Amino acid sequence: MSLAVAFQGELGAFSEEAVRTWFDPDVEPLPCREFRQVGEAVRSGRVPAGLLPVENTLAGTVQPAYDVLAEPGLEVVGEVILPIRHFLLGVPGATLEGLRRVISHPVALAQCGEFLSRHPGIEAVAVYDTAGAAKEVAEGKDPRVGAIAARRASERYGLQVLAEDLQDRSDNQTRFLVIRRKDGPPLPGEDARADAGWKTALLVETENRPGALVDILQPLAEGGVNLTKLESRPGITPWSYRFFLEFEGSPSPDAVERALQQVRARAQSVRVLGTYHPWRGGTVRS
């Protein structure tokens, strides 16, 4: 049986492509409408793995994905970075000049700001998913409505490409994190990149006081720990904050462990979300 992996969106989404890139083409992608449903599917054991987009080089952080990571019972075991090319899709016979509305995920629309500004007569409308937008256009059969999505979506839903490479920069990329249930069985490919080194993700909650964030960052800086990501999200109680941190390396070296001990002593709570190999391109499973 093929491995089932949950992702947010419809079949044909960029997340599906990321799933097939990290695992292999024979994986069984499980579409979920909401990010939280991806986490629920993994925590419940319905699927052994899930994939969440966490940031884009143009649009920045995908905040709902980080809220899923904050929930207990999940572990980060890998990452994949996917080049993102956006295509304008329409029903057969549609034209760019005839479009009056284009729909897509809000993060995708944010990556295509220059294209949209050059076409002020086209209204941009946010929906829950890029491939979901393509599916809606195909079902609606309205030549005045288009979708911004991956080329894979055009092939799946029988749409034609009206324009290509809509993204503001040619090096547009999205980073995804691979998750499984905490203390669950290892996924195929978890240890396939031992030569790539390690990254570690933390969830830290601080008090609401001046200098609280500095107090947790200072031990990491003094220990020579290189942060690669810092993201703030609301905590459980009003005006408290959770910080997602990623850094190069694993907690096992003595210097890193000493730094983390100091962070634990200064923070309200610290949880290691996972230690995993950074993405170096290629497919994990061959």
From 7, 87, 176, 247, active-site residue: 176
Active site residue 176: yes
From 21, 130, 174, 200, active-site residue: 174
Phi first, then psi: give them for residue 43, nearest 5 degrees.
-60, -35
Burial 82-113 (b: 16+ CB within 10 A, else e): bebebbbbbbeebeeeebeebbbbebbbbbbe
User: How is the chain split among helix, strand and coil, in percent rounded to 5?
Assistant: 30, 35, 40
Task: State how far the Cα of 234 lies from the Cα of 230, in Å rounded to an integer.
Answer: 14
Burial 209-238 (b: 16+ CB within 10 A, else e): eeebbebbbebbeebebeeebebebebeee
Residues in the chain: 286
Task: State how far the Cα of 33 lies from the Cα of 281, in Å rounded to an integer.
Answer: 28
Q: With the C-alpha atoms ordered 192, 1, 150, 177, is the resulting torsion angle positive or negative? A: negative
Active site residue 57: no
- Residues labelled catalytic: 174, 176
